[in-house]
Structure 1
Amino acid sequence: MGLAADLFWSFRSPYSYLATRRYRALTEAYDLEIALRPVYPLAIRQPDFFERNHPNWLRYTVTDVMRLAVYLDIPFAPPRPDPIVQDIATRRIAKDQPHIFRLTRIGQAAARRGRGLAFADEASRLIWGGTQGWNEGDHLAGATERAGLDFAELEAEASCDAEALDTEIAANQTALEAAGHWGVPTLVFEGEPFFGQDRIELALWRMKQRGLAPRA
């Protein structure tokens, strides 16, 4: 019997994007199931986070993400549009957010079907991989199809079952904090959190200690 882990993840997190295809690759190479547990980003949970953070935080994060993408040989470009509507000059988060709620609810609907990680991987490749207007046309529908799901079905569910999906997303955040962390991406395996895209090898080491085996 294979091993299982939870991946707490955000559509607005570039570090989540940099981790996703690598975690997905582990599920293809090993007898491992990783359940995606999407959460709303800090911009939604703590709208004043960017205003009260150190002025260098955003500049450093952008620099770090861009060099990591080059180092990992993963395509990267600032999202157009950003999943969060934000005034970069003032760092203020807009009250109207047309993307992040839709995306996260669709992600949770995909997770209900056991295909959350695949959807997150395909959708984040659009958002962070350089697809301009990823929210338009059939971009998301194509990503959903590549993940083995039906976009019209997920989008309808995200609309008609939004309250229940938000309850599940809030439960994901509660579970993340109960596991001992608050940020994304965080893999939780047997109650132990591994935070960050730079902890994948460490998580793999731990899972191998617990008998993780290659897929037959």
Structure 2
Amino acid sequence: MRTIRRRLMGEPPTLHYFHGVADPYSHLAAQLLPALAAAYGLRVVPHLVPAPAAEVAPEPERLLGWSIRDAGQLAAAHGLAFPADARAPAADAVRAAEGVLAGLTDPAAFSEAAFRVGTALWRGQPFDAPTRDAQAALAEGAAALAKAGHYLPGVFAFEGECYWGVDRLPHLEARLADLRQSPPMGPPVVRQLEASDRRGDVRRAPLEFFLSFRSPYTHIAAARVRALADRWNAELLLRPVLPMVMRGLPVPLEKRMYIVRDTKREADRLGLPFGRICDPVGTGVERGLAVLHRAIALGRGPDFVESFLQGAFAEGVDATTDAGLLGLAERTGLSAADVQAALADESWRAIAEQNRERMFGLGLWGVPAFRVGNLPAHWGQDRLWAVEQDLGRIAGGIA
């Protein structure tokens, strides 16, 4: 409806951008506003938003520490800037930075100010700031973000669809390119990052894969990380954990809905099946983890991971039923006797807790997550390109 109205009125397409000054990903995203506006003839509307609520962004200290490190790596991959010496900003500096950006509506001016002030903020350096109260701007931005259907800073919203951070801009650009009535102005502003088909030999170095049977993102990562391990002769170590909601961490509806929509978008890009979902939370997850524990012992772990996730997120299989779980197990070479023995064995619970503790010890709290050897861990199905870089470092003897 918005697209039709815009076309009838002859208006330019409008892109809304939501910026958090204490969000490393926003620091990267804001740098791209002028290029996006120029490449696609957009009207860009920047909004200032507060830090996300605890229920949608649990473990805030881990999240910030991870985001700072990840933003640096992401900046290098995309030719953007992020301070190498970045640190957690002080609360008074955050308020001052918000005061600088409040009221700025021109995207070029907003981008310039966000970069200038953000660079100083992340470095812990002083910057000139007016004594402007940003509360009204923050309230407006929070309301607009909620209306758009998202909950995090660093988000772009365009005609009913949200794109979180630099990683999802290729999806946005593909959509914007379809709207153009003339040939593209040039190459995409942001290139898609993905692991290649390169091969190497890391001589069975460990590649840890932290996974959850309730995670749509784990579903679209499982076969890809297994193939990556095979190409580099890495030892794939499965580290299953209980889902967040079964570990006492909230996952609000708006977050669940975005994750499902975003996974569908990514699955379509990758040519992977997704959409017929039977949520295995609770009993289904527990039964699946019990069978996975036995499957790993029998050398069928990766097969069962992929089978279970395919059933839960692409085939609508109910793993809480005996028939559903048995079908998922049998197609990986496990027998009914194997399933029965697995369900009678509770030792998987201690393993899952050990995996959770290990994951937290690496500074992460969510899945899918990956670690190659003793190198820093990575979080997200869209970080397999970084995992591949680590494998290349080890193969080259420089890790």
* TM-score of the alignment, normalized to the shorter chain, above 0.5: yes
The alpha-carbon distance between structure 1 residues 155 and 15, as it changes in their structure 2 partners (threshold 3 A), is farther
Counterparts of 1:165 and 1:37, CA distance in 2: 11
TM-score where L is the length of structure 1: 0.79
Question: Percent identical across equivalent pairs?
Answer: 28
1:4 to 206, 211, 217: 206
1:129 to 314, 323, 337: 314
Q: Does 1:79 align with 2:263?
A: no
Deviations 1:59-93 (A, max 9, x none): 3222211111111111001422x101xxxxxxxxx
SS at the partner of 2:239? strand
The alpha-carbon distance between structure 1 residues 11 and 3, as it changes in their structure 2 partners (threshold 3 A), is same
Counterparts of 2:218 and 2:204, CA distance in 1: 24
1:100 to 279, 285, 292: 285
The question of whether the paired residues in 2 share the 8 Å contact of 1:12 and 1:41 is answered with yes
Q: Which AA in structure 2 matches 1:108?
A: H
What's 2:77 paired with?
Answer: none
Equivalent positions of 1:177-216 (< 5 A) are 177-191=360-374, 192-211=376-395
- The one of the two structures with greater contact order (alpha-carbon pairs below 8 A, sep at least 6) is 1
Question: What's the offset of the Cα at 1:41?
Answer: 0.2
Question: What's the offset of the Cα at 1:109?
Answer: 2.4
What's 1:18 paired with?
Answer: 220
Question: What's the offset of the Cα at 1:158?
Answer: 2.9
What's 1:35 paired with?
Answer: 237
Q: Does 1:46 align with 2:248?
A: yes
The alpha-carbon distance between structure 1 residues 14 and 58, as it changes in their structure 2 partners (threshold 3 A), is same
Counterparts of 2:379 and 2:354, CA distance in 1: 18
Deviations 1:14-49 (A, max 9, x none): 0000100101212333311111111100111016x0
- What's the C-alpha RMSD, in Å, of the aligned pairs? 2.2
Counterparts of 1:19 and 1:34, CA distance in 2: 13
The alpha-carbon distance between structure 1 residues 32 and 146, as it changes in their structure 2 partners (threshold 3 A), is farther
Deviations 1:130-173 (A, max 9, x none): 244455565543443443433531441332x21x2211111011
Counterparts of 1:140 and 1:26, CA distance in 2: 27
Counterparts of 1:72 and 1:211, CA distance in 2: 27
The question of whether the paired residues in 2 share the 8 Å contact of 1:109 and 1:158 is answered with no
The question of whether the paired residues in 2 share the 8 Å contact of 1:35 and 1:116 is answered with no
Q: Does 1:66 align with 2:261?
A: no
1:118 to 280, 303, 324: 303
SS at the partner of 1:210? helix
